[in-house]
Amino acid sequence: MENLNTLFLANANNGAAGNNWMMIILFIILIGFTYFGMIRPQKKQQQQRLQMMDKLKKGDEVVLVDGLHAKIDKINSDKTVVVDADGIYLTFERMAIRRVIPATTVPAPETTEKTDEKATETSDTASADDTKKEDK
């Protein structure tokens, strides 16, 4: 009988050791999931935000964290920006900028060619009219 009790006690100790290893492995998996699921993406997002802050220049349209839409008027060396919100100049920290609104691109070459043609036609007509007036 004593041998049987000793056998059960020995098996109970081995089971506890296996359980400890399983807890350690689960804890390591939990730490890995936390790092790759939360910390790493947050660091990438912060790095992209810092790059955006470095690329700011005068004239950029921005949205501030409080929802204010403005245009950058001046960037100071002490990490502040002066924004123009419809004629009101406000000073904010650079980190108060949530995002930069991309500038819309319009096909400028086509409109300038048409404008140049019209301007040439108008100037030719005007010079012809001036010549007629001088002849009289």
User: pLDDT band at residue 14, thresholds of 50, 70 and 90?
Assistant: low
- d(CA 85, CA 70) in angstroms, rounded, equals 5
CB burial of 3-30 (b: ≥16 within 10 Å; e: otherwise) equals eeeeeeeeeeeeeeeeeeeeeeeeeeee
Please tell me whether residues 60 and 43 are part of one structural domain: no
* Residue 120 domain flag: no
Tokens of 116: 């140049």
| pLDDT value for 55 | 87
CATH number, domain with residue 60: 2.30.30
Q: 31 pLDDT exceeds 90?
A: yes
Look at residue 30 and tell me whether its pLDDT is greater than 90: yes
The per-residue pLDDT for range 43-86, each reduced to its tens digit, is 999 999 888 888 888 888 999 988 889 899 888 888 888 888 88
Question: pLDDT confidence of 29, banded at 50, 70, 90?
Answer: very high
Q: 65 with 31, same domain?
A: no
Query: Span 82-108, mean pLDDT?
Result: 81
Nearest of 124, 120, 79, 109 to residue 97 by alpha carbon: 79
Which domain does 76 fall in, by range? 56-104
Q: How far apart are the first and last CA of the chain?
A: 140
